Amino acid sequence: MTGKTLGIDLGTTNSCMAVAEGILPTVIPNREGGRTTPSIVAFKVDGTTVVGLPAKRQAILNPTDTIFSVKRLMGRKYDDPDVKSLMHLLPYTIGKDTANGDARVRIKERLLSPPEVSAMILRKLKDDAENYLGSEVDKAIVTVPAYFNDSQRQATKDAGTIAGLDVIRIINEPTAAALASGLGGKQDMRIAVYDLGGGTFDVSILEIARGIFEVKSTSGNTYLGGDDFDARIVAFLMEEFKKREGIDLRENPKAMQRLKEAAETAKIELSTANEVAIALPFVYEDKSMELPLTRAQFENMVKDLVEKTEIPCKKALESAKMTARDVDAVVLVGGMTRMPRVVEKVKEIFLRQPYARVNPDEVVASGAALQGSIMGGDIAEVLLLDVTPLSLGVRTVGDGFKVIIEKNTTIPIRKSEIFTTAENNQTFVNISIFQGEEEKASQNHPLGEFQLIGIKPMDAGKPRIDVTFEINADGILNVTAKDKDSGQVQSIVIKPSTGLDREQVKRMSREVQAPKPAAEPEQGAVGVAPSEPPNTGELEIAAPLPAPAPPPAEDFSDSGSSTNLPPLT
């Protein structure tokens, strides 16, 4: 085995890295001496790129070219409603990849993909770790929120590859936290992980039995975190300034950056102090502002945000078929769990005092490093099982959604369902893959599609098309389709509906690893269309609505004996 495996918590706001020696994880400080690194990349006027604290420090002077919270854009489409609402909040510009509609970040005349920006953060972590350890680091375990879908996981893996890291496993943040908490080592137990970070909220219920960690359920909100708490203080400061000076600071990026920083500082101080004084000297021309903010005032501003964490907790308990009383311990993760009101809320939900012996900022990276030890064979007795956070399935005739893998299924998993045609002599079907819980396919998140061609012509409902979903240990999905009757080997073209193609990843990888001035336009950043398969989509067959699909089989084997097969389009 060459080199160490780096455990990386690639956070929305802060990232953290650790390595483990057997069962002992150690957080690696970055070059600036910090145990966490702001997940911020700045493209400076002189053409240089800076990452982490230096990027955070210059943010005020360079608001439009300082990229923060890029994790929120990972694996997302430009037209995603969440991305649309983000656009108004971010001081930098979000662009659209004309080839696949992905969200991108506009830096001067370049359009960078979110994985490329994340790769710059990962690259800094890798470099700093190598500098600290005095040896090369080429493998990593990277964590993602439990609720990340397939595109977001793939984008995270791409970021690692671009940074020159072999991402040997992607694990869920709450799972990593549970692993590092040390709970369950001596006795079997059920734990809840409550993670309120900068951008996301996750809750997971895990069961640890004889050293086996099993995630029973996960829930969360990908758009709830510390940034939202900051935004409430920012809004309050803006309103105050308008009242006092009659000036709207919204259009002034520099002032807005200052407000955001002051808001975050005040919020953090209010976790220990009962009152803070917010001072904004010369926030607008010669105008300054100074005002006090009490903890009670702040708690009032964010009451609904704190409340919003309750429903996912209830849902996670319900999916795990548990009540709060069944949970033996609650682990708090994420900087926001230092806020006293949040701790109170957790107590209300889970009816117990949270487990205090973990550092909420470091526990996820530590768990990732431990996973590295497990995979390196240094820890034998722990086995980590994960679950798929959302249901996965295919579109059937009439925009139906046939789930193949139910949400909260333990991965890795391989599961097949048999489908059929809706028309006589149909020779091809569309396999459109979606992720989500809605009944209509179109209301779920599209993951990709391909066609299975060369089906043996038969009456409608006769062909038996085996669709297999396979999720590997990283939570990444592979789909294959096979016509059982033709006996012919079919070749399938998977047309990714999102994300970077392999060539793009390779090219970006060369660029990040041999950094060049940011101002240089990236060749082919936009308009690079992946090669299209022959467009037979127009031939899509309009078929009458089929009889309702049978309920999904509970076992993971073929359900090929069914006579009422759901037809594909």
Ligand X SMILES: Nc1ncnc2c1ncn2[C@@H]1O[C@H](COP(=O)(O)OP(=O)(O)OP(=O)(O)O)[C@@H](O)[C@H]1O
Of residues 4, 9, 402, 449, which has the active-site annotation? 9
Is 71 among the residues that bind ligand X (CB under 6 A)?
A: yes
Residue 38 or residue 197: which is nearer to Mg ion going by CB? 197
In the complex, minimum distance from the CB of residue 503 to ligand X, in angstroms, rounded to a whole number: 29
- Two tokens, residue 441: 């396919």
The residue length of the chain stands at 569
Is 338 among the residues that bind ligand X (CB under 6 A)?
A: yes
In the set 160, 334, 475, 499, which binds ligand X (CB under 6 A)? 334
Phi then psi dihedrals of residue 378, to 5 deg = -75, -25
- Two tokens, residue 66: 């300082």
Piece in contact with ligand X (CB under 6 A), picked from 24-32, 84-92, 159-167, 334-342: 334-342
Residue whose beta carbon is closest to Mg ion: 197
Cα–Cα distance, 70 to 179 (Å, whole number): 27
Is 7 among the residues that bind ligand X (CB under 6 A)?
A: no
**CA 395 to chain centroid:** 24
Is 448 among the residues that bind ligand X (CB under 6 A)?
A: no
For 511, other C-beta atoms within 10 Å of its C-beta total 16
457 close to 466: Cβ distance less than 8 angstroms = no
In the complex, minimum distance from the CB of residue 180 to ligand X, in angstroms, rounded to a whole number: 14
Is 143 among the residues that bind ligand X (CB under 6 A)?
A: no
Is 462 among the residues that bind ligand X (CB under 6 A)?
A: no
Site for ligand X, residues 193 to 222, rule: CB under 6 A:
197-200
- Choosing among ligand X, Mg ion, none, which partner's interface includes residue 417 (Cβ < 5 to 8 Å by kind)? none
Write each residue from 9 to 48 as x if it is in contact with Mg ion (CB under 5 A), else as -, in one continuous string: --x-------------------------------------
In the set 26, 98, 257, 271, which binds ligand X (CB under 6 A)? 271
DSSP for 390-445, written as a single string:
S-EEEEETTTEEEEEE-TT-EESEEEEEEEB-SSTT--EEEEEEEESS-SBGGGSE
9 is catalytic: yes
Write each residue from 128 to 167 as x if it is in contact with Mg ion (CB under 5 A), else as -, in one continuous string: ----------------------------------------
Strand 49-51 versus strand 137-144 pairing type: unpaired
In the set 361, 362, 417, 474, which binds ligand X (CB under 6 A)? 361
In the set 13, 420, 430, 444, which binds ligand X (CB under 6 A)? 13
Is 225 among the residues that bind Mg ion (CB under 5 A)?
A: no
CA atoms lying within 13 Å on the CB side of residue 284: 19
441 close to 434: Cβ distance less than 8 angstroms = yes
Piece in contact with Mg ion (CB under 5 A), picked from 114-122, 191-199, 316-324, 431-439: 191-199
Write each residue from 14 to 53 as x if it is in contact with ligand X (CB under 6 A), else as -, in one continuous string: x---------------------------------------
71 is catalytic: yes
Is 267 among the residues that bind ligand X (CB under 6 A)?
A: yes
Q: CA geometry: angle at 530 spanning 528 and 536, to 5°?
A: 130
Sign of the Cα torsion 545, 547, 551, 556 reads negative
Cα–Cα distance, 560 to 482 (Å, whole number): 13
Is 336 among the residues that bind ligand X (CB under 6 A)?
A: yes
In the three-class reduction of DSSP (H, G, I as helix; E, B as strand; rest coil), residue 299 is classed as helix
Of residues 65, 195, 361, 522, which has the active-site annotation? 195
310 is catalytic: no
Residue 197 or residue 463: which is nearer to Mg ion going by CB? 197
For 326, other C-beta atoms within 10 Å of its C-beta total 13
Residue 332 or residue 441: which is nearer to ligand X going by CB? 332
Is 7 among the residues that bind Mg ion (CB under 5 A)?
A: no
- Choosing among Mg ion, ligand X, none, which partner's interface includes residue 361 (Cβ < 5 to 8 Å by kind)? ligand X
How many residues of this chain bind ligand X (CB under 6 A)? 22
Residue 214 DSSP label: E
In the set 335, 372, 475, 546, which binds ligand X (CB under 6 A)? 335
Of residues 97, 116, 150, 173, which has the active-site annotation? 173
- Two tokens, residue 121: 């953060």
**CA 44 to chain centroid:** 27
| Burial of 519 (C-beta count, 10 Å sphere; 0-12/13-18/19+) | middle
Cα–Cα distance, 527 to 104 (Å, whole number): 13
Of residues 71, 126, 267, 407, which has the active-site annotation? 71
In the complex, minimum distance from the CB of residue 382 to ligand X, in angstroms, rounded to a whole number: 23
Radius of gyration of the chain (CA): 25
Torsion of CA 558, 559, 565, 569, to 10 degrees: -30
Is 225 among the residues that bind ligand X (CB under 6 A)?
A: yes
In the set 12, 113, 391, 569, which binds ligand X (CB under 6 A)? 12
240 is catalytic: no
Residues 6+ apart with CB under 8 A from 343: 332, 337, 354
409 close to 384: Cβ distance less than 8 angstroms = no
What number of H helices and E strands is found in the chain?
A: 13, 28
Residues within the interface to ligand X (CB under 6 A)? 11-14, 71, 197-200, 225-227, 264, 267-268, 271, 334-336, 338-339, 361
Residue numbers annotated as active site = 9, 71, 173, 195
Q: Which residues would be at the binding site for Mg ion (CB under 5 A)?
A: 11, 197
